[in-house]
Structure 1
Amino acid sequence: MKSARCKVILAASLLGCLPGISVVGSVLAEDSRQTGFVDLAVKDLAAAHQLIVSSHPGAIDKENKDFTDWVERGYLEARQLSLLVGSRRDAQAVLGFYISGFKDGHVGTYQSEKDRSSWVGFILDKRGEDFVVSRVAKDWPVPLPPIGSSVISCDGKTVREIVSNEISPYIDRRLDLQSTWNHLAKHLTVDDADYPVLARKRAGKCQVVLSNGVTQNYDLLWQEGGEQLTGFLHQPQPPQTVLNLGHGRYWVHASNFAPSASENASLEKMLDVLESIDDASLVVLDTRGNRGGNSLVGARILSALLGEKFVESLDRSSRSYAMWRVSPLALSTLDNAMTSTERNYGKGSDAYTFVSVLRESMNAALKEKTDWLRQPDTSSLDQDHSKDLKQKVFKGQLVLVTDSFCASACLDFADAVLAVPGAIQFGLPTSADTVYIDIGAQVLPSGARFWLPLKVWRGRVRGNNQSYEPRYVFDGDINDTPAVQKWVLGHF
């Protein structure tokens, strides 16, 4: 039965691609196992679909027809795909197919059970128009292409064709974003258990252009990954700190917007240092390794450097506001947020007050059975504060360094930094967000944890799934801090 399964790229091709049974006796046991995995896929899809319908703001957003259309059309296509499921991994892939169709980075899953990842001994980065070998295993049973060479095709298909047609539908369909290509490039040579592809046919041979221009074919040997692959796939997160480089130059690692209670102490020390800076000619705000978290952290970093009044003036220039989808999941999420905010910041903090007020409003909206709840402006919570906001005058050059993972709260930070007159972006194009944000989570029947956003921004300056493109693009290893620092500082 397994060998009879067709390879499916798009759900529209399903009708002529369903598996047949030729020898009944030899497949009964496998049929039973497959039926169990099909049921698992169907149950997870149904639960995810229901959560989207009941809790995601996009499901009732009259301004986003593409989203509302995919809620049902995508669900039907994924249900059809589930007929081809033959393993737990396949079931996870079908759920990924449904999720990727929303083109919403805040919709996703964490699998409690998954297979091991496999790879071919090297990993690709997308640099410009090329798919470049960036990591190579120390030991591998077959020859591997050298670092810096470019893979142009595998099994007679271009890399771009494989990525866009076979991999993207299950992982990330935002192919208009450069950051998406950067992430998907790695999946050509890595069968990642976190991002499975249904009935994937792994490449067997690739054509490679070496750095000297010579074209060479490489046979691929797939093996289970270990610590080496895990290390290659892990995105380094530089410690959050301020470095004084001398001559009025400062390098700020704004790399962690989701600090733990213990990390908050280090954050406070960093903020004290930033507040004391009064001789800056150049400040580099380096967000590499930052995947989002609490936007308040970014706001505090920028306020410490530029002054609270100035940063608030940037925020007031925007006419954006947030609307929460009223739902039981939103209320339970705010309950959890109150607990964590009290633990990390204390009941007397502005953050706790904000969440507490929002939670009470959500509870009232649920009782009134309304669809939407407008989030209060943070400025309204500060009106009773008698303390004067600290005034600073920053006259230096501000630089923002980004990688392709910058999303969510990291993008909120980029919004503010790039609104400062004269600020310049270096590094790689960022990721992008829809206008939907602030996630809640729930466990699916399989045990996977499914998360989705609970509110929508209206009037946001940055558009839906819009990334930031740097003025200066880094063409090397973005995780190489000394190289990035030398490159940025060389422009000044």
Structure 2
Amino acid sequence: MTCMGGVAMTMRRVKRMAAWVGAIVMMTGSAGAAWAQIPSAGIDDFKAPPDPRWGAITAADVEAAYRLIRDNHPGATPEIGDPAFRRALEAAHAQAQARAHEATSYQGYAATLNAFANGLGDKHIWSRPTLLPNLVRWPGMVVSKRGERWVITDTDEANHSMMGAALTACDGIPVAEFARRNLGGYRAVWRIGAQQIQAAPWLLIDEENPFIARPKACDFETAGGARTMTLDWLRAKRVDLLPRLQKAVGAGAAGFGLRKVGDGYWIAMEDLDAPGKAVAVQVAAEAAALRAAPFVVLDLRGNGGGSSLIGREVAAALFGKSNVEARLGSLTDTPCGGGDGTWRASAGNIANLEFLLELLGEQNGPEFRKIIGDLIVQAKAAHAKGQPFSGPTHCDRPPAPAKASGQPDGMKGRLIVLTDNKCFSSCLVVVDDFRSLGAYQVGQATDAATRYSEVREIYLPSGYSMFSTLQAVQVDADPDIGPFEPALAYDGDIADTAALERWVTGVAVRQAGPARP
């Protein structure tokens, strides 16, 4: 009986404990959603002990990433004549080697590889982790960059009074310098304004990067005056914060499709991949109506790239292929490496070209197959001869045609290109092309890239990350592509499509003026 009584007493205690824990869960909403963990003594002070094994793992992956760039990226060769890139590669490699010796955690590993990629100055080169820690810390506030101001645009309930406050400094460091140190080395090429905007929401997110200091206190300008706040760093699930961080960037999402808006047409093209290709087909089918319309908007919000050939197809549908080539030149008949540039003829790049032809050849049509097929033949021939490139590495540009004002013939109304800070990679090429065709750019400034193109990635030896390289160079292009500033900036919420449509049809179309002088 004593034994049974003890069991009964134990069961009652278990039930009371379960009820107490259940009450906590009810008060917090749910253990999974509202809290990163059940409130427990010692949890917030825990730090995993240093693990020296991460040093060797990091060093091996750094060397693999370095070899990938050195042996495959066009800028790493002396033939291209880009000593600035080669210096950046060696400097980033040396810094990564030094940090690898200090890495004692996964967070140190990830930060080292992120900084290595970021140091090469082109967002096409990245370290893509194959796993991410579930928990991060935040002080209950999210920052957005609006112009030159760093503004609180999202908070938890406890910090709601800080909405709209401007962050001015942290731990005595002015916010511009603080952001450059903590974000510029890891999440953004700091000379590019769009990337500062994209990285800004991470400014007050602690991912336990051991190479930067988490601030203890920050200064704010609020409606009630200046305020210094000691930050209370709370654990949160990464997956719960990500939607809030993405919203805080302040970019849009065009979606896909062709629709009538007012008296004109709206082409929504959020990428230049298969969905964007389907929109280009729609545009070609409705070309007559689009050419006769008083205005056409090409909405590229959220467009991170794909194939710039899709942009050329849209341009040809709107203006006619001959009119487009008269302004932009031919993609195939050029002495400067063709539409996809001159490729570095490494074994890895050739294998990737063959993979692309097999994977994408059928769905992208005969022009794509010819371009890629010709590149494979040229790259293999160069490789067999010990030559580093598939074609010329320097090119005398043909004389540029006299700069025309306005749009070419073929389209009656005004063409407006709408961009946000997410426009990158092939989207930049499309914007550049349409600006050359006389389009009127509105919205936000774009991101920027370099004349190096055609990205691919590999797994690093540990399997904890993938690393990318570029494979080709546009030998007749300027060293940098973008950023492209709009002729008319939009200061509202660029994610609000309905409000944006009203602004475009009511303001931008009028400001754009006629298609031709």
TM-score computed with the length of structure 2 as normaliser: 0.77
Equivalent residue for 1:205?
217
CA distance in 2, matches of 1:145, 1:455: 51
SS in 1 for 2:455: strand
Cα drift, residue 245 of structure 1? 1.3
Out of 427, 451, 464, which is 1:435 matched to? Answer: 451
Deviations 1:2-24 (A, max 9, x none): xxxxxxxxxxxxxxxxxxxxxxx
CA distance in 2, matches of 1:465, 1:354: 22
Deviations 1:116-162 (A, max 9, x none): 3633333222222111223344xx4x324544332112232222111
Amino acid at match of 1:181: Q
Return closer, same or farther for 1:145/1:182 CA change in 2, 3 Å cut-off. Answer: farther
Cα drift, residue 230 of structure 1? 2.1
Amino acid at match of 2:266: W
Asked if the contact 2:298–2:416 (Cα under 8 Å) also holds between the matched residues in 1, the reply is yes
Cα drift, residue 483 of structure 1? 2.7
Amino acid at match of 1:361: Q
Asked if the contact 2:141–2:159 (Cα under 8 Å) also holds between the matched residues in 1, the reply is no
Equivalent residue for 1:458?
475
Pair 1:369 & 2:386 matched: yes
Cα drift, residue 200 of structure 1? 3.5
CA distance in 2, matches of 1:274, 1:80: 57
Return closer, same or farther for 1:246/1:74 CA change in 2, 3 Å cut-off. Answer: closer
Pair 1:110 & 2:128 matched: yes
Equivalent residue for 1:408?
425
Equivalent residue for 2:173?
157
Q: 5 Å matches for 1:48-447?
A: 48-61=65-78, 62-116=80-134, 118=136, 119-137=138-156, 140=157, 142-172=158-188, 174-191=189-206, 197-210=209-222, 212=223, 214-218=225-229, 219-234=231-246, 237-247=253-263, 249-259=264-274, 264-265=277-278, 267-316=280-329, 321=337, 322-345=341-364, 349-374=366-391, 393-421=410-438, 423-447=439-463
Cα drift, residue 111 of structure 1? 1.0
CA distance in 2, matches of 1:206, 1:319: 56
Cα drift, residue 109 of structure 1? 2.0
Amino acid at match of 2:170: C
Amino acid at match of 1:355: I
CA distance in 1, matches of 2:306, 2:218: 39
Cα drift, residue 304 of structure 1? 1.6
Deviations 1:6-61 (A, max 9, x none): xxxxxxxxxxxxxxxxxxxxxxx956x22x10011100110011111110111114
Cα drift, residue 456 of structure 1? 1.0
Asked if the contact 1:179–1:430 (Cα under 8 Å) also holds between the matched residues in 2, the reply is yes
Asked if the contact 2:301–2:420 (Cα under 8 Å) also holds between the matched residues in 1, the reply is yes
Cα drift, residue 265 of structure 1? 4.5
Amino acid at match of 1:449: M
Deviations 1:436-474 (A, max 9, x none): 1101221101211111100111221x5425311112222
Pair 1:479 & 2:495 matched: yes
Over the matched positions of the two proteins, sequence identity in percent amounts to: 25
CA distance in 2, matches of 1:112, 1:392: 50
Return closer, same or farther for 1:267/1:466 CA change in 2, 3 Å cut-off. Answer: closer
Cα drift, residue 188 of structure 1? 0.8
SS in 1 for 2:123: coil
Asked if the contact 2:357–2:373 (Cα under 8 Å) also holds between the matched residues in 1, the reply is yes
Mark the runs of 5 or more structure 2 residues left unpaired by the alignment. Answer: 1-47, 394-407, 511-517
Return closer, same or farther for 1:312/1:375 CA change in 2, 3 Å cut-off. Answer: farther
Equivalent residue for 1:16?
none
Asked if the contact 1:288–1:401 (Cα under 8 Å) also holds between the matched residues in 2, the reply is yes
Mark the runs of 5 or more structure 1 residues left unpaired by the alignment. Answer: 1-28, 377-390
Equivalent residue for 1:37?
54
Give the structure with higher Rg (CA). 2
CA distance in 1, matches of 2:163, 2:292: 42
CA distance in 2, matches of 1:404, 1:49: 29
CA distance in 1, matches of 2:470, 2:381: 20
SS in 2 for 1:164: helix
Amino acid at match of 1:480: D
CA distance in 1, matches of 2:165, 2:57: 42
Asked if the contact 1:282–1:398 (Cα under 8 Å) also holds between the matched residues in 2, the reply is yes
Cα drift, residue 275 of structure 1? 4.8
Q: CA RMSD in A?
A: 2.6
SS in 2 for 1:291: coil
Asked if the contact 1:242–1:273 (Cα under 8 Å) also holds between the matched residues in 2, the reply is no
Deviations 1:318-348 (A, max 9, x none): 98642211101111110121122234235xx
CA distance in 1, matches of 2:228, 2:362: 57
Deviations 1:56-102 (A, max 9, x none): 11111452211111222321221112222121121111111211111
Q: How many residues align?
A: 433
CA distance in 2, matches of 1:411, 1:54: 27
CA distance in 2, matches of 1:222, 1:375: 56
Cα drift, residue 295 of structure 1? 1.0
Return closer, same or farther for 1:220/1:430 CA change in 2, 3 Å cut-off. Answer: farther
Cα drift, residue 190 of structure 1? 2.6
Q: After TM superposition, which residue ranges in structure 1, 4 or more long, deviate above 4 angstroms? A: 263-267, 317-321
Amino acid at match of 2:483: S
Asked if the contact 1:163–1:184 (Cα under 8 Å) also holds between the matched residues in 2, the reply is no
Deviations 1:180-228 (A, max 9, x none): 2212322212346xxx744433233332223x36333443433223544
CA distance in 2, matches of 1:296, 1:156: 49
CA distance in 2, matches of 1:217, 1:476: 29
CA distance in 2, matches of 1:412, 1:308: 17
Return closer, same or farther for 1:184/1:406 CA change in 2, 3 Å cut-off. Answer: same
Amino acid at match of 2:234: W
